[in-house]
């Protein structure tokens, strides 16, 4: 699984960081960034989907053929 943030949609709520701090971090500009180039280890798949579901701006994309 891989995740990315559409930066033009991100409003900096940080819901994603709260849902999955292992996968998202707040950048110096106050907006979210993905860690580790967006690669999601299998053990963090649920957190990735939780963050995706909690982004009010629909700014998170999840690439996963199995989803």
Which residues make up the interface to ligand SF4 (CB under 6 A)? Answer: 5, 10-16, 32, 55, 57, 59-60
Taking alpha carbons only, the member of 7, 14, 64 closest to residue 41 is: 64
Report the alpha-carbon distance of residue 11 to residue 36 in Å, rounded.
21
Shortest distance in whole angstroms from residue 60 CB to ligand SF4: 5
5/44 with CB nearer ligand SF4: 5
Shortest distance in whole angstroms from residue 31 CB to ligand SF4: 6
11/67 with CB nearer ligand SF4: 11
45/62 with CB nearer ligand SF4: 62
């Amino acid at each position: 699984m891989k995740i990315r943030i559409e930066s033009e949609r991100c409003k900096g709520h940080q819901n994603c960081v709260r849902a999955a701090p292992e996968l998202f971090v707040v950048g110096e500009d106050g907006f979210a960034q993905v860690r580790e180039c967006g690669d999601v280890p299998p053990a963090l798949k649920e957190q990735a989907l939780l963050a995706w579901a909690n982004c009010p701006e629909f700014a998170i994309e999840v690439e996963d053929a199995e989803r």
